[in-house]
């Protein structure tokens, strides 16, 4: 698991995203001003979303860096789900704004101006987003931060969006068909809607304590299998995600003639193996005698 100091360093990536958003907004608005292209305007509007979400990501990562305390004994990592959900919501709003801008132009198309220079500026902005996205994606995988992963995914969506806009505006310049500019903007809106819904779905699953990913569950079962071959068994195995963290709890059923000390040592060994394989996971075990029928009863988590 990364230390709190390492987690705190994640904020520098949020600052990088903020600076990139400010720079690309300036470039894309300049491209729109030169060309009068609603497609390029839609691209600029999405960059405003990048800026808003980067600021929220900075706040979220600053909170995540706080150590666990008496009020939040499991730490603050789930704040990242709020950040990711906010980003998804902002993307949906951006899609609506783009559509609202493009539809009137589709009905009453307008000619474009200085297309070549505007496209060059947009390419520069897209390359900036591409570079920052790759940096954030690597950091997100390294630190297990869904905030950085969401930001990286959004920036890559922006890159593909800009590529589509550039192609559309270039075709308008070649063919003279002005309505194509609005159609490209509407395609941009539809494309980013998909990204927004995916981020919202992932955030909702995390806030509802979804289980660990299948690969992590398989790793846990691989660790437990040798112990089962020795006559032990496990039940009430429950997992949940907390952004970069995960939590595993289970009942460890051992032969009743084992001493308390030995059963405890085995349980500690199991916990250590899981933490070694999945450093981001906290493990809780409860030792019970194998022969006692009560040990096999699994109390469901229910509230009246």
Range(s) for CATH 1.20.1510.10 in the chain?
A: 4-207
Query: How confident is residue 5, by pLDDT bands cut at 50, 70 and 90?
Result: very low
- Confidence (pLDDT) at 253: 92
In terms of average pLDDT, the best of 82-86, 104-108, 133-137, 197-201 is 133-137
Fold for domain 4-207?
Alpha-lytic protease prodomain-like (1.20.1510)
Flag whether pLDDT at 76 surpasses 50: yes
Collect contacts of 2-10 with beta carbons under 8 A, ≥24 apart.
2/143, 2/144, 2/244, 4/65, 4/66, 4/67, 6/143, 7/61, 7/64, 7/65, 7/143, 7/244, 8/62, 8/65, 10/61, 10/64, 10/65, 10/139, 10/143, 10/145, 10/147, 10/148
Whether this prediction's pTM lies above 0.75 is answered by no
Flag whether pLDDT at 99 surpasses 90: no
Range(s) for CATH 3.30.70.1350 in the chain?
A: 214-296
Query: How confident is residue 304, by pLDDT bands cut at 50, 70 and 90?
Result: very low
Flag whether pLDDT at 2 surpasses 70: no
Contact 276, 256 (CB under 8 A): no
Fold for domain 214-296?
Alpha-Beta Plaits (3.30.70)
Flag whether pLDDT at 138 surpasses 70: yes
Contact 221, 252 (CB under 8 A): no
């Amino acid at each position: 698991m990364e230390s709190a100091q390492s987690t705190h360093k994640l904020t520098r990536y949020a600052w990088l995203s903020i600076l990139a958003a400010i720079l690309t907004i300036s470039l894309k608005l300049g491209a729109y001003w030169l060309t009068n292209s609603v497609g390029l305007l839609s691209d600029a509007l999405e960059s405003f979303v990048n800026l808003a979400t980067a600021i929220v990501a900075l706040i979220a990562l600053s909170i995540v860096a706080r150590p666990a305390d008496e009020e939040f004994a499991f730490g603050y990592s789930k704040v990242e789900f709020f950040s990711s959900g906010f980003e998804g919501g902002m993307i949906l709003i951006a899609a609506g704004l783009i559509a609202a801008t493009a539809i009137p132009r589709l009905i009453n198309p307008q000619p474009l101006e200085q297309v070549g220079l505007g496209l060059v500026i947009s390419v520069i902005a897209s390359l900036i987003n591409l570079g920052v996205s790759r940096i954030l994606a690597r950091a997100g995988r390294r630190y297990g931060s869904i905030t950085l992963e969401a930001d990286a995914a959004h920036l890559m969506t922006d890159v593909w969006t800009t590529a589509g806009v550039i192609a559309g505006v270039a075709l308008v310049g070649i063919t003279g068909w002005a309505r194509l500019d609005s159609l490209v903007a509407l395609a941009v809106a539809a494309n980013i809607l998909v990204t927004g819904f995916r981020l919202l779905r992932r955030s909702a699953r995390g806030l509802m304590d979804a289980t660990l990913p299948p690969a992590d569950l398989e790793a846990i079962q691989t660790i437990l299998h040798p112990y089962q071959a020795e006559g032990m068994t496990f039940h009430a195995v429950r997992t949940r995600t907390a952004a970069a963290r995960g939590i595993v709890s289970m009942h460890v059923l051992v032969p009743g003639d084992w001493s308390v000390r030995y059963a405890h040592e085995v349980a500690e060994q199991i916990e250590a193996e899981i933490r070694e394989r999945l450093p981001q996971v906290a493990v809780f075990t409860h030792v019970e005698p194998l022969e006692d029928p009560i040990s096999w009863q699994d109390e469901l988590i229910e509230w009246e």
